[in-house]
Structures are given as C-alpha cells and as structure tokens.
C-alpha cells in the first residue's frame, strides 16, 4: 500500500497568481494558497497505479484542520494541513461507476472507466486471430462469428456484397446502420448488402428493419439474407404499388431474380413514406432454415422452412436491399437491431 498526501491551506480559498513586481496590496490573505505543484510518483513494480502528491505553499498565518474534509482522507495540522490516506494497490480515487453522483472513493476500475475497444462484445466461435492491446482489451477479431449476446455489430465488421454506389453509415457505436441504395432501373435487379460470416449451427439472427422508398409502381425489397457466395435466399419485405408482403425468395445471383417459395400479401401501404419497422429472424438448427416474423420482436411465428442445402448452404448472413423501380432517387433502408444467438429456438433469447 502506498500513501497519498495532500497539503492544504486551512479554510481559505485559493488566491490568484501574483504578477511580477506586484504591489504589497496584491498579497493574498493569511493562509491562502499561493501555488501548487503536481509531483508524479512512479509506483513500485506490480499492478499499482501512479500516485500524486499535491503540495501547497501557504502564506504565513494561522489555520487548523477543523472543518477540512476530503472523502477517504484523514486531515490534521496547523498552520499547514496534511491530508493523508493509504492507497490500496490496483485502485483509483474516483466517483461511482454509475447511478447517482456521489463522493469519490478508492475503488477498482470498472467497465465504464475504459474506452471502447471497437470490438462487439459477445461469444465468438473459431476466430483465426485475436488482437489484444497492452491493457488487456481485445481490439480485433478476424474470422470468427459472434453467436451469443452480441448486440448491434460495428459497420466495419460487415463485408459488402455487390456494393456498387450504395453507401452505409453508423453514426453511433452500437446503433442503427443506415443504407442508401441507388435505383437499379426499371426491370433490372441489383441486390446490395452487408454481410457477416454465418455462425456455426445451431443459430438464429433476429433483426429490426425499416425502409423509405420512392413512389413508383415497381418493387423494392429489403430483408435478411443467406448467401453462399453466388446465390441468396432472401427473407424480404417487398413494397409495390398498392401493398406490401413478407416473402422468402430464391435469388440466382445478385442481379438475377429466381423463384418465390413463400409470400403473403399483407395489405395496402402508403408509398414514398417510412414502412415498418419489421421484426424478422432466420434460424438454422443444422437441418432446416426457418423464417419467422413478429409484430413486436418478442413473440415470433414461423412462416416458412426449408432443408439446409436444398437451395443453398449459407456461408454468410446479412442485410440487403434491391430497388428496381426506375426512380431517380435512392431508397433509404435502416437496420435498427441485430441480435445473434447460439440456439435455433423459435422464441426466447
């Protein structure tokens, strides 16, 4: 245990600094602090934190320790007051980690004291490399898939597929990802999206998505997609003249439509406005893919399933959109939530 000493002038406020050749009338009151020096003391070997001695040069005069209080310190002496405390090894003198404001105290570091590492928290499977900095933070994971308690991934962890002139932003760490997708033109398709490696089964990925699309007569889709490097299976919300639907679509490649093994016309939607948000999930129990929908993101209902490998075996899972309306303006799409779990249960985390 090291000791931290703080020297104080008794019961008087600090005086302003004196200019050179200041007149006698400018001298401070008795007991006022004239100057302070911060002197760092290097800690001994081991996981101890740097300590500081604060020394105050005090003008001649009286004063006692009466009424001088520093939380955690013992103060005594006259006319110069010394406040001392033993510094526990590996602790800092700071306010609380959370909750209401409170007096500082000696405590261990907490997560709130540390800057973000840039890596999404959670459980990862089979990473090829992990980078750890000098303070023990994991700053990079390459080749692994987050499968439990992952939260919203960083945009930088996704890989674009067929980006073209599409763009994406994530202004707040752990917050929604906004994607702007230009129109592919009339009857031309172009799925553009951001993808992660598919977790090792069993798994499920649950997302919240929303879109704002131009007011034309053709179709715009966005959704959660499985991708094998060529073909895709899209669990999509499709917007078209007079309505929208949730559907599962087999897509030959990023520019070629395929078949639609499941669709359900859900009703009328106002065009050129925000549609959604939609709560959907895809599950993989190592035998089948399941495509589920929810009204509020808690209770899910299965809409469709098919055998893994019957159309493709996913290497990636991601968020994508295809706007093919012949509109001059792009479509704006929002991935508002992404949760990955290491189970294939219909409901529950």
224 touches 205 (CB < 8 A)? yes
- Is beta strand 74-76 parallel, antiparallel or unpaired with respect to 80-87? antiparallel
- The answer on pLDDT for 21 being more than 70 is no
Same domain, yes or no, for 155 and 267?
Answer: yes
Give residue 114's pLDDT.
75
Q: 204-245, pLDDT tens digit by residue?
A: 999 999 888 766 556 788 999 999 999 999 999 887 766 678
In this structure, how many other beta carbons lie within 10 angstroms of the beta carbon of residue 140? 14
pLDDT tens across 111-146, in order?
778 777 666 666 565 556 778 777 677 777 665 556
Mean pLDDT of 293-298: 87
For residue 189, the SS3 value is coil
Domain assignment of residue 41, yes or no = yes
Give the separation between CA 226 and CA 208, rounded to whole angstroms.
16
User: Any idea what DSSP says for residue 21?
Assistant: T
Handedness of CA 198, 164, 271, 186 (dihedral sign): negative
> CB 195: neighbour CB atoms within 10 A?
20
Question: Token pair of 155, please?
Answer: 């945009």
Q: Is residue 119 part of a domain?
A: no
CATH number, domain with residue 215 = 2.60.120.200
Residue with tokens 């994530």: 170
Task: Find the domain containing 208 and state its range.
Answer: 146-341
CB neighbours of residue 169 within 10 Å: 10
Residue that the structure tokens 């991708």 belong to:
227
Report CA 273 to chain centroid distance, whole Å: 28
Structural domains counted in the chain: 2
Asked if the structure places residue 255 within a domain, the reply is: yes
């Amino acid at each position: 245990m090291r000791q931290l000493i703080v020297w104080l002038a008794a019961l008087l406020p600090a005086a302003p600094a004196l200019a050179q050749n200041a007149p006698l009338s400018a001298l401070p009151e008795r007991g006022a602090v004239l100057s302070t020096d911060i002197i760092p003391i290097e800690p001994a070997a081991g996981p101890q934190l740097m300590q500081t001695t604060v020394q105050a040069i005090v003008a001649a005069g009286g004063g006692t320790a009466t009424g001088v209080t520093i939380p955690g310190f013992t103060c005594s002496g006259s006319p110069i007051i010394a406040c001392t405390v033993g510094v526990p090894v590996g602790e800092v003198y700071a306010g609380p980690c959370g909750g209401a404001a409170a007096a500082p105290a000696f405590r261990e570091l907490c997560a709130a004291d540390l800057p973000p590492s840039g890596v999404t928290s959670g459980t990862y499977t089979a990473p090829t490399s992990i980078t750890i900095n000098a303070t023990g933070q994991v700053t990079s994971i390459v080749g692994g898939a987050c499968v439990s308690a992952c939260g919203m991934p960083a945009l930088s962890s996704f890989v674009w597929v067929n980006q073209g002139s599409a763009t994406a932003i994530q202004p707040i760490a752990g917050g929604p990802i906004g994607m702007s997708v230009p129109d592919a033109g009339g009857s031309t398709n172009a799925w553009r999206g951001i993808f992660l490696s598919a977790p090792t089964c069993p798994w499920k990925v649950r997302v919240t998505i929303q879109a704002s699309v131009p007011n034309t007569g053709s179709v715009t889709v966005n959704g959660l997609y499985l991708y094998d490097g060529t073909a895709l299976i899209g669990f999509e919300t499709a917007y078209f003249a007079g309505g929208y639907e949730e559907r599962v679509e087999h897509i030959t490649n990023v520019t070629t439509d395929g078949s639609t093994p499941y669709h359900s016309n859900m009703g009328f939607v106002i065009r050129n406005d925000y549609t959604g948000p939609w709560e959907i999930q895809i599950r993989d129990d190592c035998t089948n893919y399941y495509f589920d929908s929810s009204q509020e993101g808690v209770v899910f209902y299965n809409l469709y399933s098919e055998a893994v490998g019957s159309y493709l075996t996913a290497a990636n899972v991601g968020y994508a959109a295809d706007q093919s309306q012949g509109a001059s303006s792009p479509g704006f799409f929002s991935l508002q939530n992404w949760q990955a779990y290491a189970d294939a249960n219909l409901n529950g985390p």
